[in-house]
Structure 1
Amino acid sequence: MGRLVDLEERTERVLERTWLARELRDTIGHALTIAVVQAGAARAAGAAGTREFPERALAAMKDTGREALSELDRVLRLLREDADPMAQRSTLAHAGRLVESARGAGAEVAARIGGDLDAGPGPVSREGYRMLQECFTNVLRHAGSVRVSVRIEVFDGLLELEVHDRQPAESGGSRGGSGLREGAVLLGGAAAYGPYDGMWRVHVTLPLR
């Protein structure tokens, strides 16, 4: 019996560290993608003699870098201490931060939010935030500074997340997305992604109960 308990505890620690690794990858990957896109756009704007955008891009890079450093510190602290890994994780209540970050990188984001984002359980809201973060990272990495449409709605016991943007130039292009699908399935929901009506579409539904 003691060996079984030890095995379960070791398994929990491995799973927790796996989650932390994914969290760190997503956060740092998002910050670096934003910084690379912003730096490229700022350089092009500077070469064209435009001063306003480079200054705005540099300010956004500073804010994104500061958030990434804060997240890195949080994850490292969790690895060193016996702390709650869910503590201080961002939720969909902070979705505006991601929207502004993408806009700072030059993307034209139209966001529509409906319903009470605080109505759902913590795991759903936290995973929804992570999914939106991954969507923005993939948009900027594969499509660049394009027009993006985001819809987040809570209704009839469901959280629905939908993101549209320009379809990848390559035929049948893919941006991954297995992480989105895995996260949705773990929470009893579903995620679909791919070309849709001439655009690239991500559609996620998560049950709130």
Structure 2
Amino acid sequence: MAVRLLGPSPAERLAEAELRAERLLERNRLARELHDSIGHALTVTVLQAGAAREVGDPAFAAKALEVIEETGRQAMEDLERTLVLLRETPAGGAARNGAATEQPGIDQLPALFDTARAAGSPVEASIEIPAGVLPGVLSRESYRIVQEGVTNALKYAPGQPVDVQIAVREGQLELRCANRLVAAPSRGGPGRVGSRRGGKGLRGIRERAALLGGEAMVGAGGDGGAEWVLDVRLPLRLGS
């Protein structure tokens, strides 16, 4: 009777609040996953379809269709993976069934770069990571961060070279993605180029970095501010 009359105890209310917070964080994480994956696929598809129409070369069109097909297949796999995580088992937990929930990591970046090259943007990549150094969560989150950086380059500076540098230095994982600016920066300095400032993708990158105890800087930089630069640093030891 006391429980019914007095309601939940402070400890029970705190536990319920923590559970709601965890569920919200998980929903936000899944939303970022979908945004990054589907956004990348749609960007590549639009660029490839437009280029195939303008060039009018059957061989080029066939290659573009091949890239569109592969990119769409990858997006469908990412969508299915997210839906699996959203489904609840009878016990109340998220379903986990092996390959269906496996997320891409840094090892899959070369395929991502090949897709960008096929879309018409040259990619120069340097990946210097000793074997066994990178925790799984950092590998997965780093893939999504670089994917969003490359997608932004394809979207806002199509055809421009993209430079990606990934390395482990002094206990940190450093990620850098840069491309030449198509238009000059607007007044107000770095971080105010076109509509990239404040976009969902860039906000998602900052959130990913913050959750891992790192930081992300985005804006005009490089030689005289002529590049759009994404610079992310993440600690190898989470929580440090």
TM-score (normalizing by structure 2): 0.79
**How big is each residue's C-alpha offset from its partner over 1:36-69, in whole Å with a ceiling of 9 and x where there is no partner?**
01111111111xxx33322211101100000001
Aligned to 1:158: 172
**Structure 1 residue aligned with 2:206, among 181, 194, 197?**
181
- Contact 1:158-1:206 at 8 Å conserved across structures: yes
Aligned to 1:61: 68
Kindly tell me the number of residue pairs found equivalent between the two proteins. 206
Deviates more, 1:175-184 or 1:99-108: 175-184
**Structure 2 residue aligned with 1:136, among 129, 143, 150?**
150
Q: What is the CA distance between 1:88 and its match in structure 2?
A: 0.9
- Contact 1:160-1:206 at 8 Å conserved across structures: yes
> Which 5+ residue runs of structure 1 have no aligned equivalent?
none
Cα–Cα, structure 1 residues 118 and 139, in superposed 2: closer, same or farther, change >3 Å?
A: farther
Distance of 1:16 and 1:201 partners within structure 2: 29
Q: What is the CA distance between 1:204 and its match in structure 2?
A: 1.2
- Contact 1:117-1:154 at 8 Å conserved across structures: no
Cα–Cα, structure 1 residues 55 and 118, in superposed 2: closer, same or farther, change >3 Å?
A: farther
**How big is each residue's C-alpha offset from its partner over 1:79-135, in whole Å with a ceiling of 9 and x where there is no partner?**
113235994111112111211111121111111111226422222211111110100
- Contact 2:174-2:233 at 8 Å conserved across structures: yes
Deviates more, 1:2-11 or 1:125-134: 2-11
**Structure 1 residue aligned with 2:85, among 78, 89, 110?**
78
- Contact 2:178-2:229 at 8 Å conserved across structures: yes
> Is the aligned partner of 1:22 residue 2:32?
yes
> Which 5+ residue runs of structure 2 have no aligned equivalent?
1-10, 89-93, 187-192
Distance of 2:24 and 2:203 partners within structure 1: 20
- Contact 2:185-2:220 at 8 Å conserved across structures: no
Cα–Cα, structure 1 residues 6 and 73, in superposed 2: closer, same or farther, change >3 Å?
A: same
| Structure with the greater alpha carbon radius of gyration | 2
Distance of 1:44 and 1:114 partners within structure 2: 38
Cα–Cα, structure 1 residues 85 and 130, in superposed 2: closer, same or farther, change >3 Å?
A: farther
**Structure 2 residue aligned with 1:110, among 124, 127, 130?**
124
Distance of 2:69 and 2:204 partners within structure 1: 28
> Is the aligned partner of 1:190 residue 2:210?
no
Cα–Cα, structure 1 residues 146 and 18, in superposed 2: closer, same or farther, change >3 Å?
A: same
RMSD: 2.0
Greater relative CO, 1 or 2 (CA 8 Å, sep 6+):
1
**How big is each residue's C-alpha offset from its partner over 1:6-26, in whole Å with a ceiling of 9 and x where there is no partner?**
232222112111111111111
> Is the aligned partner of 1:169 residue 2:183?
yes
- Residue 15 of structure 1 aligns to a residue whose secondary structure is helix
- Contact 2:84-2:96 at 8 Å conserved across structures: no
